[in-house]
Amino acid sequence: MNIIETFHPFFQKEHYETFCGNKPSDDNADNERLAIADRLLELDNLLWPEILKHGWNISRHPQINHRSSTWQLSQARVFFEQRIDAIWLHYGKSDIELETYRPYHSDANPQTFIHHIRFQLVVRRDHFEIALILGKEKGGAWDRGKYHDLMENKSSRETLFGLITVLDSEYWIDFKSHSEYLNTFKTPEELWRYTRNDNINHYFTFGKSISPLDERISENNIVNTIIAEFKKLYPLYNLIKHRF
């Protein structure tokens, strides 16, 4: 990866290279992963005032040490993960909203922040990702259910699909461990046929990938880029988000 000298990326070459080779499964790379988590928190400090200005009903994780994902491999292993291939920052339902799910919480059916629909900003090996996650693996049951309820009805299916057509040609859907560009679906019915057999054991995500060399994620542009994408994604989030 050759980043030209005149380009000032928000995330540096070494951040992406943390996910190359054996590093994702190497405890000795914890400090490198910590540097990415810290940089994401710096990004959060820049983004949050802009999010508030737009009045969007999305929240940070209430605990600052959980605003970015796990960077310690030993901690990942607690959750049976043997490697860390990405680190992310996320926004989602408020603590007040999550409180309404407490009666349904159990070890088999957790209702924590990460088990609901979220915006996610992800640093991976070869790209930066802006995503709307309906559900992680074994997560998002309420929001996935709302999505399927919407898609069962012709009118709301067309409304949802209309919001998806606002997204540009870089956007993809990751569904049951398979990705397709969203513009391959020409009608609401095509998307519904593709997604109707959901599997909670897999991620369900709408997102776009941006090259490390792209000016859109330079130090000067990254905040404006993310806010512009959130503007497109927020109506979709607000429609699909389950609430009581």
pLDDT, tens only, 125-170: 999 999 999 999 999 999 999 999 999 999 999 999 999 999 999 9
* Helical spans, DSSP H, in 55-111: 73-78, 95-99
- 13-240: which CATH topology? BirA Bifunctional Protein; domain 2 (3.30.930)
Q: Please state the pTM of the whole predicted model.
A: 0.94
pLDDT attached to residue 74 = 96
37-71 pLDDT, tens digit per residue, is: 999 999 999 999 999 999 999 999 989 999 999 99
205 membership: H or E segment, kind and range: strand 204-210
**Cα–Cα distance for residue pair 135/177, rounded to 1 Å:** 12
* Contact by Cβ (8 Å): 172, 181: yes
Assign residue 46 a region (left: φ > 0; alpha: ψ between -120 and 50; beta: otherwise): alpha
Q: Once rounded to an integer, what is the mean pLDDT over residues 181-208?
A: 97
